[in-house]
Amino acid sequence: MKPMHINGEWVEASDGETIEVFNPATEEIIDHVPNGSAEDALKAIAAAKHAFNEWRWTSALERSEMLQEAARKLREHFDEVVELLTLEEGKAISENEEEVEWTIGTLEYYAGMIRNQRGRVLPPAERSQFNFIIKEPYGVVACIVPFNFPLLLMIWKVAPAVAAGNTVIIKPSDHTPLSTLRLAEIVFDHFPPGVINVLTGRGDRVGDVLVEHPDVPVIAFTGSTAIGQRIAGLASKRIKRLHLELGGKDPFVIAPDADIETAVEAVAYAALINAGQVCTSTERVYVPQEMGETFAGAISDFVAGLRLGPGLDRQTDIGPLAALAYREKVAGHVADAVAKGAKVLTGGQAPEKLGRGWFYEPTVLVNVNHSMKIMREETFGPTIPIMTYRTFDEAIALANDSDYGLGAVIRTNDPRLAKRFFEEVRAGTVWINDPLTDNYAGPFGGMKMSGNARELGEEGLESFLETKHVHWDFSDEPKPFWFPYGRE
């Protein structure tokens, strides 16, 4: 069993409870981790709070060097971490190699940024005055991380939070805690005790304690909108700083001028990477009416040729879903669509030939509409529902017809259509021709019910800093506007 990492020590749950960690490709138990208790959560909070008292005064140069050292160590253990991540999370090994590369790059990015971030000087109102803005760390940050990119979405929070001078408590997903614990052991081990803690356990045992405790002023969460709403409710009593990156139902619009062959490959990638378990996965596809039948046939043929299998197999294109419950949700969305008139062109079931594992065939559907769950709710699986439109105005209206606003994609070489799309579609990120490509310097986050967070870029660092205005007057003379007002 892999214990938790609290205050630089490895500890088991105070009551001895454990959580089984499965390989989603085989349904076999890989390991166990502690199912932390409220008592364990309180220990982690106390450790992080105590460490903050020193860490906040550690120079930016020292913090930068520690982040650089973490990046170097992760590079040294690259293959080992990729393999462990693939075993517990399931996606294709090439995708996990990219995740670890991005994790390293994020550490390096914030190591560089923190060297020159502190605040700014303002022009004063009087000659004797000095006005400036300083940015200060909040304190303890709870980083609650999902299963689909357990290292990347963790480091998008941890790197800027720690760089800013905060301490962190990482609560990884119950499905994917092993790689995060391994990083605590081999990558973060040079940080002072209590600066980076890893607390495993169910949300109702440790998550609620983190969200409600007065000594945890910031909650950084990536996950479903429903859980985000619950966190917001619990945290509202103390007006905490909420950093919520929630669900998505991203549209992909194929413009009339788009090449069908390349559009097919772009949509397949955007919809099926990590078996569709990406918050910015394409979950709604809109095609011009005159291209609809041709496009649907072409993408069905392309998708049918993709290979399902365990992520460690280099020939695998699409791995399993993370757990049985997620596969059942995908199957339920497909069944709902079919019952309401949709047609499955390919896929639509768990593959029999693979036997064990939580796999689901990549599925292409047509005749869908916005009354169906598969076009309204986050599916988070390998589905491509295709709907046709008559005019570009209609395409934009359909893209905006969602409670979510995380990302949106368009394929076009017409700059007029591209401009209309990025100006009129309500989404935090708009990709033109190159879906799901991120940039360390480009803030990532959503609009509407997709949350209020911005990760990466300067905005990612700002999320973990409080703003303080200092007004300093060097003169000790009384001011003419002070009491009594009748003074001459």
Interval 359-368: pLDDT, tens: 999 999 999 9
Q: Is the pLDDT of residue 486 over 90?
A: no
408 pLDDT above the threshold of 70: yes
Query: Which residues have a catalytic role annotated?
Result: 245, 279
Written as one string, the DSSP assignment of 107-118 is HHHHHHHGGG-S
What tokens does 377 get?
């709710």
| Homologous superfamily, domain 250-432 | Aldehyde Dehydrogenase; Chain A, domain 2 (3.40.309.10)
Q: If you average pLDDT over residues 468-479, what whole number do you get? A: 95
The pLDDT value recorded for residue 117 is: 77
Q: How confident is the model at residue 353 (pLDDT cuts 50, 70, 90)?
A: confident
Instruction: Give the pLDDT score at 254.
Output: 98
Q: Where are the domains of the chain?
A: 4-246+451-471, 250-432
Supply the pTM of this predicted model.
Answer: 0.97
Lowest-pLDDT choice from 93-102, 112-121, 125-134, 152-161: 112-121
| Number of CB atoms found within 10 A of residue 65's CB | 14
Q: Among 354, 322, 5, 317, which residue's Cα sits nearest to residue 185?
A: 5
For residue range 132-162, list pLDDT tens digits in order: 999 999 999 999 999 999 999 999 999 999 9
Nearest CA-CA partner of 455 in 95, 157, 33:
157
Instruction: State the CATH architecture for 4-246+451-471.
Output: 3-Layer(aba) Sandwich (3.40)
Rounded mean pLDDT of 411-427?
98
Per-position b or e across 387-398, b if 16+ CB within 10 A of its CB: bbbeebeebbeb
Structure tokens of 274? 């990590």
Record the tokens describing residue 230, joined without a space. 């619950």
> Which of 46, 48, 20, 18 lies closest to 34 in space, CA to CA?
18
Do the beta carbons of residue 178 and residue 324 sit within 8 Å?
no
**Average pLDDT, stretch 60-85?**
98
Mean pLDDT of the chain: 97
Q: What gap in Å lies between CA 384 and CA 363, rounded to an integer?
A: 6
| Separation of first and last alpha carbons in the chain | 79
Sign of the torsion formed by the C-alpha atoms of 262, 264, 265 and 267: positive
pLDDT at 324 over 70: yes
How many whole angstroms separate alpha carbon 358 and alpha carbon 276?
13
Please report the pLDDT score of residue 368 as a whole number.
Answer: 98
Look at residue 488 in the predicted model and tell me its pLDDT. Answer: 67
pLDDT at 124: 95
pLDDT band at 354 (very low <50, low <70, confident <90, very high): confident
Mean pLDDT of 168-192: 98
Q: Which residue in 447, 420, 421, 449 sits closest to 435, CA to CA? A: 421
